[in-house]
Chain A
Amino acid sequence: MVLTLIILYVITLIYLSTVERFRNYASIIAWQGWILLGIALLQLHTLNWVELGFVILETLIFKALVVPAILMNVIKKTNINRVSTSGTSQFNSQMLSIAALIVSAITTYYVADSSVHMLFFGVALYALLSGLILIVLRSRIFTHVVGFLVIENGVFLFSMAIGVEMPILINMAIMLDILISILMLGMFLTKVDDKIHADDSDSLTRVKD
Chain B
Amino acid sequence: MIYFYFLLWLAIAATTLAARSRRVVHILCGCYLTIHAVFIEQLLFGGEYLTTSGIFFTFDEAGTLFYILLAIVALFVFWHSEEYLKDDAIEHYRLYFSLLMLLTTAITGVYFANNIAITWILLEATTLCGAGILYYRRSKPTLEATWKYLFVCSTGIAIAYLGILLLCAAAENSSLNYTELQGIIAQGNPLYLKVAFILILTGYSCKMEIFPLYTIGVDANFAAPAPASAMISTGLVNAGFLAIFRIYRLFADTPVFGWVQNVMLLTGILSLIVGALFLRRTNNYKRFLSYSTVENMGIAAIGLGIGGTGVWAAVFHVVCHSLIKSSLFLQIGIVRHIYNGYRINRIGDYININKVGAIGLLVGMVVILAFPPSPLFISELMILSETITAGDWWLTALMMLLMCIVIYSVCHRVIKLCYQPNQDELHISNINRRLSYSALILMLGAIVIGLWQPEPLKAIIDSIVNM
Contacts and interface: CB of A to CB of B under 8 A. Distances in A.
B148 A204 contact: yes
Interface string A141-160: 10011001001101100110
B68 interface: no
Nearest to B135: A188
Nearest to A206: B141
Given A148-B154, A151-B158, A207 B148 contact: yes
A50 interface: no
Contacts of A116: 169
What size tier do the contact residues of chain A reach?
35 or more
A174 interface: yes
A145 B278 CA distance: 29
A151 to B, nearest CB: 5
B89 interface: no
A207 B144 contact: yes
A148 B169 contact: no
Contact of A209 (B125, B128, B140, B281): B281
A103 B223 CA distance: 39
A180 B126 CA distance: 12
Contacts of B191: 111
A185 interface: yes
Residue of B135, B151, B162 contacting most chain A CB atoms (<10 Å): B151
A151 B282 CA distance: 33
Contact of A128 (B143, B162, B176, B281): B162
A174 B189 contact: no
Interface string B134-145: 010000110111
Given A128-B162, A164-B165, A170 B121 contact: yes
Contact of B143 (A145, A180, A188): A188
A56 B287 CA distance: 45
Contacts of A192: 143-144, 147
Contact of A155 (B161, B170, B172, B281): B161
A185 B151 contact: yes
Contacts of A185: 150-151, 154
A113 B147 contact: no
Contact of B174 (A111, A152, A164): A164
A78 to B, nearest CB: 13
Contacts, number: 110
Q: Which of A115, A161, A191, A209 has the most CB of B within 10 A?
A: A209
Contact of A148 (B158, B166, B174): B158
Interface string B98-129: 00000000000000000101101100110110
A209 B145 CA distance: 13
B162 A173 contact: no
Interface string B277-303: 010011110010000000000000000
A202 interface: no
Given A204-B144, A206-B141, A155 B168 contact: no
B131 interface: yes
A115 B172 contact: yes
Most chain B beta carbons < 10 A, residue from A115, A148, A159, A174: A115
A45 interface: no
B144 A181 contact: no
B133 to A, nearest CB: 13
A206 B139 CA distance: 11
B118 A209 contact: no
A106 to B, nearest CB: 15
A47 B278 CA distance: 57
Interface of A: 111, 113, 115-116, 128, 135, 141, 144-145, 148, 151-152, 154-155, 158-159, 161-162, 164-166, 170, 173-174, 177-178, 180-181, 184-185, 188-189, 191-192, 195-196, 198, 204, 206-207, 209
